[in-house]
Amino acid sequence: MTNHEADKKNWEREQCQRVAEEINKSKGTDYDVHPPDAEPADVTLKSKSGAHPPLPVQVVSIPLDFRHRDDKHSVEKIREALKRSLEQHGFNHCCVGLILSGEAEMHGIRHAELEILTGIVLKEAANGNRTLKYEDIFERSPEPSELVHDIIISHHEELQNPDVDIPSGSALPPDGRWIKEGILKKVEKYGGAKAVKDLVLVIGVAGFVDDEQVQAFQADNPAETLPFAQIWIVTPFHGVVCLKS
């Protein structure tokens, strides 16, 4: 198993562990995370005492990225370059999310600007989970602010290496479209609502989804209209939220 695959599995288990703890707290159960018993589950939540039925869980990360890459693969180059730069500084156990400008998506980021960006991330990460908007980035250094509109830093002990996420789009959406996309991805993958009616869905995010988006999704999507037996969303800034139980 590669480091990336191991990190992905550790990340999935961490999301499910947080959901198990929330279920136990709210319902008085004693669930813990175990390897899946059968497809299509990623993990199975099992009762330590055996008093509660096992819960097969699928995990999806959002936002999904449907960006069409240009021939120079500028976005992927930025992601890999920042990841390497952070690794060289011994930075780990964190995920860094970037919302790029159209200029950066098309033409990339020069080395000097990447170094400034690395310095900002390292300094801000020392203060915990952070979200920097355009004006915050400009205040720290005008150069990268025209290329990077948002920086989201979240700490994850289960990640052995730094991770860099760059979703599509030039701004964080005010509605729940990313949450809906994540749910529909899994429904379509497994053949429709009937195929997932007994599954628990855990949605993990890297800091891109905030309270405003969660509340907008809930307003537009009542629990009874949603597929899956249960749906939970785990955010580093706002904790675990139940979308359907």
Per-residue pLDDT tens digits for 207-236: 678 788 899 999 999 999 999 999 999 987
Q: Do 221 and 144 share a structural domain?
A: no
Beta strands in 89-192 (DSSP E): 94-100, 130-132, 148-155, 163-165
Q: What would the pLDDT profile of 168-211 be if each residue is shown by its tens digit? A: 665 677 889 889 989 999 999 888 999 999 999 999 886 678 78
- Does 126 fall in a domain? yes
pTM recorded for the entire structure = 0.70
- Does 218 fall in a domain? yes
Q: Do 94 and 36 share a structural domain?
A: no
| Domain hosting residue 44, numbered range | 3-63+174-244
- Does 69 fall in a domain? no
- Does 123 fall in a domain? yes
- Does 82 fall in a domain? yes
Give the separation between CA 125 and CA 119, rounded to whole angstroms. Answer: 10
Picking from 165, 182, 206, the residue at the C-terminal end of a domain is 165
Picking from 165, 195, 213, the residue at the C-terminal end of a domain is 165
CA torsion sign, 143 to 144 to 147 to 150?
negative
Picking from 131, 165, 199, the residue at the C-terminal end of a domain is 165
